[in-house]
Structure 1
Amino acid sequence: MAKRALVSVSDKTGLIDFVQKLVDAGIEIISTGGTKKAIENAGIPVMSISEITDFPEILDGRVKTLHPAVHGGLLAVRDKKEHMDAIKDLGIQPIDFVVVNLYPFKETISKPDVAYNDAVENIDIGGPSMLRSAAKNHRSVTVVCDPADYDRVAESLDENAEVPFALKQKLAAKVFRHTAAYDALIADYFTKQVGEEFPEKLTLTYEKKQALRYGENPHQMAAFYSEPIKNESTIAAAKQLHGKELSYNNIRDADAALGIVKEFKQPAAVAVKHMNPCGIGIGETINEAYDKAYEADPVSIFGGIVALNREVDAALAEKLHSIFLEIIIAPSYSEEAIAILEHKKKNLRLLQVKFTDDNQEFAQYTSVRGGMLVQDLDTKGYADIEENLKVVTDRKPTEAEMESLKFAWTIVKHVKSNAIALVNNGLMVGMGGGQTNRVGAAKIALEEAGEKTKGAVLSSDAYFPMSDTVEEAAKAGITAIIQPGGSIRDQESIDMANKYNIAMVFTGMRHFKH
Structure 2
Amino acid sequence: MRALISVYYKEGLEKLLQAIYEKGFEVISTGGTAKFIQSLGYKVKLVEELTGFPEILDGRVKTLHPAVHGGILYRDWVEKDKEEIKSLGIQPIDLVVVNLYPFEEKLKEDLTEQELMEFIDIGGPTLIRASAKNFYRVAVVVDPEDYGWVAERIKEGGLTLEERKALAVKAFSLTAYYDALISKALANMFEVQTEVTYSAIPIRLASQLRYGENPHQKGWLYLNPLEELGIARSKVLQGKEMSFNNYLDSDSALRLVSEFSKPACVIVKHNNPCGVALGNSLLEAYERAFSSDPESSFGGIVAFNDKVDKDLAQGLTEVFLEVVIAPEFSEEALEVLSKKKNLRLIQVFGFSHSFDIKKISGGFLLQEEDSLDYERFEVVSEREPTETEKEDMLFAWKVCKYVKSNAVVIAKEGMTLAIGSGNTSRVDSLRCAIAKAQRFGFELRGSVLASEAFLPFRDSVDIAHSAGITAIIQPGGSIRDKEVIEAVNQHSMAMVFTGTRHFRH
TM-score range normalised by the length of the shorter chain:
over 0.9
Asked whether the 8 Å contact 1:455–1:478 carries over to 2, the reply is yes
**Deviation per residue, 1:455-511 (Å, 9 max, x gap):** 111111011111111111111111111111111211211111111211111111111
Q: After TM superposition, give the deviation of residue 144 of structure 1 in Å.
A: 0.4
Alpha-carbon separation, structure 1, partners of 2:321 and 2:106? 40
Counterpart position of 1:379: 371
1:139 aligns with 2:130: no
Inter-partner Cα distance in structure 1 for 2:212 and 2:353: 27
The equivalent of 1:260 in structure 2 is 256
Q: Distance in 2 between matches of 1:253 and 1:198?
A: 30
User: SS at the partner of 1:7?
Assistant: strand
Distance of 2:39 and 2:447 partners within structure 1: 75
- Structure 2: how far apart are the matches of 1:121 and 1:229? 19
TM-score normalized by the length of structure 1 = 0.94
Residue aligned with 1:300, SS = helix
Shift of 1:129: 0.9
Match of 2:148 in 1: 151
Cα offsets for 1:137-182 (capped at 9, x unmatched): 1122111000000000011122x22222221111111001111111
The question of whether the paired residues in 2 share the 8 Å contact of 1:10 and 1:102 is answered with yes
1:17 Cα deviation after fit: 3.6
Question: Is 2:19–2:152's contact at 8 Å kept on the other side of the alignment?
Answer: no
How many residue pairs are counted as aligned between the two chains? Answer: 501
Opposite residue 476 of structure 1, the aligned amino acid is A
**What residue is the counterpart of 2:385 in the other structure?**
397
The corresponding residue for 2:279 is 283
Checking the alignment, whether the CA contact within 8 Å between 1:29 and 1:47 is kept in structure 2 is yes
Give 5+ residue unaligned stretches, structure 2.
Answer: none
AA aligned opposite 2:31: G
Aligned match of 2:452? 461
Moved more, 275-284 or 243-252: 243-252
Selected match of 1:239 from 228, 231, 235: 235
Distance 1:292 1:45 in 2: 72
- Identify which range, 369-378 or 42-51, moves more after superposition: 42-51
> Which of these residues, 413, 420, 428, is aligned with residue 401 of structure 2?
413
1:176-325 mapped onto 2 (5 Å cutoff): 176-192=172-188, 193=190, 195-232=192-229, 234-325=230-321
Alignment RMSD (CA, Å): 1.5
- One-letter amino acid of the structure 1 residue matched with residue 471 of structure 2: A
How far the C-alpha of 1:207 sits from its partner, in A, is 1.0
Could you list the runs of 5+ residues in structure 1 that have no partner in the other structure? none
SS in 1 for 2:322: strand
SS of the aligned residue for 2:262 comes to coil
Which of residues 345, 354, 374 in structure 1 aligns to 2:349?
Answer: 354
User: CA 1:459–1:225 in structure 2 vs 1: closer, same or farther (change >3 Å)?
Assistant: same
The equivalent residue for 1:59 is 57
Cα distance in 2 for residues equivalent to 1:188 and 1:123: 13
- Is 1:335 aligned to 2:338, yes or no? no
Pick aligned residue for 1:120 from 94, 117, 122 = 117
TM-score under structure 2 length normalisation: 0.96
Deviation of the 1:194 alpha carbon: 5.2
1:342 and 1:183 map into 2 onto residues whose CA distance is 44
What code does the residue aligned with 1:509 have?
A: T
In the alignment, the residues of structure 2 paired with residue 483 and residue 185 of structure 1 have an alpha-carbon distance, to the nearest angstrom, of 40
- Is the contact made by 1:98 and 1:141 (CA closer than 8 Å) also made in structure 2? yes
| Alignment-mate amino acid for residue 299 of structure 2 | G
Q: Which one-letter code corresponds to 1:441 in the other structure?
A: S
1:445 positional shift: 1.2
Amino acid of the residue matched to residue 496 of structure 1? A
Q: Give CA deviations for 1:378-401 in whole Å, capped at 9, x if unaligned.
A: 0112xx54xx21111121111111
Worse-matched range after superposition: 87-96 or 312-321: 87-96
Give SS of 1:118's match: helix
Residue type of the alignment partner of 1:497: V
Assess if the C-alpha contact under 8 Å between 1:424 and 1:452 holds in 2: no
Q: What is the one-letter code of the residue matched to 1:422?
A: I
Q: Is the 8 A contact 1:20 1:44 kept in 2?
A: no
**Cα distance in 2 for residues equivalent to 1:460 and 1:323:** 31
Aligned letter for 1:328? V
Counterpart of 1:91 in structure 2 is: 89
Q: Deviations over 1:165-204 (max 9, x none)?
A: 2211111110011111111112223334251342111211
Cα distance in 2 for residues equivalent to 1:46 and 1:263: 59
Amino acid at match of 2:414: G
Q: Which moved more, 1:47-56 or 1:90-99?
A: 90-99
